[in-house]
Amino acid sequence: MKTIGANYEGGGRCTFTVWAPEKEKMILHLVHPREQQIAMQPDEFGYFQTEVADVDPGTHYFFRPDDEQDYPDPASHFQPEGVHGPSAVVDHGTYAWQDSDWRGLPFKDLVLYELHVGTFTPEGTFEAIIPRLDYLVDTGINALELMPVSQFSGNRNWGYDGVFPYAVQDSYGGPEGLKKLVDACHQRGIAVFLDVVFNHLGPEGNYLGKFGPYFTDQYCTPWGDALNFDHDWSDGVRDYFSNNALHWFEQYHIDGLRLDAIHTIFDIGAISFWDLLHEKKSLLEQQLGRPLYLIAESDLNSAKVVKHPEAGGFGFTAQWLDDFHHALYVLIDESGKDRYADFGRMEQLAKAYTDGFVHSGEWVKFRKRRYGASSAGVAGDRFVVFNMNHDQVGNRVKGERLCLLVDFDRLKVAAAAVLLSPYVPMLFMGEEYADESPFFYFISHSDEALVKAVQEGRKEEFAAFGFDVAPPDPQAEDTFNQSKLRWEVRDKGKHRLIRQWHKELITLRRTHPVLQNVNKSDVHVNTMGQEGFALHRQSADGQQHLVCLFNLSDQEIAYIMPVWAETWEKLLDSTDAQWQEEGAAAGVRLPAQAEAGQPVSLPPVSLTLYRSLARSS
């Protein structure tokens, strides 16, 4: 494996390596604490390298290709002065890790929690998250999924405009801050996932093209030219990004990566980038003695994403299941049909539970073509489901969360629909207590022309949806500040109640044998017209059963209890007094026990969970 960037080896020795296959010369320019210019030596594969014997950690440097001008290191580990400033040497050997006993968690047992470092706390840093970890553990969260933390321009950004994939954002706390957060998480039994972007780079501070053919015009993406994974000189690009994954696993003890929009990565080579990444990840797993996970965001609706490369797959551990979100959301919020016109039938939600992909080869109006393939038979722990994520909230013109779009009863039902599913659940930060702060799109670029282009682009994007208000200015600091969580409300009124509801559901998920079974052949759904559905699940040994009764309508609906058990005992009822907002009127409640074949009336907008009692001998 070719280590690029500044590899500090201790004792003042540091090896500098940069890939620039079409350049004839390369200068290493040390600029602080002393200035020195050193010619680097090329090899046959396009790498320039030099070893310096008296460099200390923190030394600032640039590279200068072909005597043009100084640029930061494409594989910089730290940019203390931002995207246009010098890179800094980092000694990864000095941090005293306290997680030597950490061996990771089984993927199927995770409750993921997506958060944005800059808006999760008032301070917006890695270290400011640490005091909140015990609260998350108490809620039942055991895995953080950090939105991208690679260096971006300014100090306000979602992270998808990163331009230094190996560097940790300076305003978040840099390399030391991230290590402290991961270490603190592991000591509390929390795994850490990191969102990484291997499909494009941001516009400001993107200097990779100054060094080599990182991009190709053979393919076009929403962000311009695609990254070069399969054309001339693509070996260097493939190594750059595949080794980036190892960088996070090794140097920061990250447990898993979520890869952004993998459908915009193009590679027609005999050995694909996904083959390469899977092979390197698997070897590192053996060396580290702990599991390493890869989650895909994919718009392909293809089970190949989670199949092993030997079976023609991409080798991902799991992928986000957008179809589940769309099918559920449109039934929870009628206005959702304006966004997801191809969804809206109860049978689609049933298919999302039993199969996974709702669109599996049917004609899809939105795409104007047949779309997707079946994922029936793919285990539940190969998919991640959610009611919200950064895209679902941030790409609404007002940045509204689900709690502002639906009433309290529907919010409870939506949470139960996700947490009682056979899939790995993910919450978006603040969702567990119904935080009402918006989550807007925000930037802090220094290029005025770029800022104007982003501002106009957002207006045009929302105008296409027919919104009657303009989106907030993404460059304005107030847009960013409004997006910060309102922690002060989490223990008050409905916020406390919905958090307790999430805790109860997570506890059930973690402790009940039926909810531990991710085999989808043990999942069955009976629809009740377009008003509700019964989700049937059973334990792996077939001895225990749960029936989750969902009424998504405003009317009572009848249901006949299944005959899989003589008697059913109620475990959870969203209409119980303990789950009602103060002053809410008492409604119809289901009996504490129900017999097989007994008709029951499901209260409007409710979830009732029954477990089977053992048959008498």
Closest CA to 51 of 19, 93, 6, 91: 6
Domain 515-612 has CATH 2.60.40.1180: yes
Classified by CATH at the fold level, domain 110-334+379-502 comes out as: TIM Barrel (3.20.20)
The 3-state DSSP composition of the chain as helix, strand, coil percent (nearest 5) reads: 30, 25, 45
* Residue-by-residue DSSP string for 207-221: -GGGTS--EEEEEEE
* Residue 150, beta-bridge partner list: 168
Within 10 angstroms of residue 468's Cβ, the number of other Cβ atoms is 7
| Mean pLDDT over the full length of the chain | 95
End-to-end Cα spacing for the chain:
64
Number of H helices, E strands in the chain: 13, 30
User: Cis (ω within 30 of 0) for the bond into 33?
Assistant: yes
- Judged against a pLDDT cut of 60, whether residue 616 lies above it is answered with no
Dist. CA 165–CA 87, nearest whole Å: 13
What pLDDT score was predicted for residue 586? Answer: 63
Q: Copy the structure tokens of residue 416.
A: 């139960």
The CA R_g of the chain, rounded to the nearest whole Å, is 26
pLDDT band at 617 (very low <50, low <70, confident <90, very high): very low
Same fold? 5-88, 515-612: yes
What pLDDT score was predicted for residue 585? Answer: 65
- Judged against a pLDDT cut of 90, whether residue 377 lies above it is answered with yes
Which whole number is the average pLDDT over 177-197? 98
pLDDT in tens, 439-494: 999 999 999 999 999 999 888 888 766 677 889 999 999 999 999 999 999 999 99
Dist. CA 437–CA 481, nearest whole Å: 10
Q: Copy the structure tokens of residue 170.
A: 């300076």
- Judged against a pLDDT cut of 60, whether residue 142 lies above it is answered with yes
pLDDT in tens, 243-293: 999 999 999 999 999 999 999 999 999 999 999 999 999 999 999 999 999
- Residues recognised as catalytic: 260, 297
CB–CB of 139/431 below 8 Å? no
Q: Where are the domains of the chain?
A: 5-88, 110-334+379-502, 515-612
Burial class (CB in 10 A: 0-12, 13-18, 19+), 340: middle
- Judged against a pLDDT cut of 60, whether residue 1 lies above it is answered with no
Dist. CA 88–CA 91, nearest whole Å: 10
State the DSSP H helix or E strand holding residue 481, giving kind and residue range, or none if neither: helix 477-482
Predicted structure pTM score:
0.97
Backbone torsions φ then ψ of 405, nearest 5 degrees: -105, -25
Work out the percent of the chain whose per-residue pLDDT is above 90.
Answer: 92
Q: Which CATH class is domain 5-88?
A: mainly beta
pLDDT in tens, 403-425: 999 999 999 999 999 999 999 99
What pLDDT score was predicted for residue 2? Answer: 67
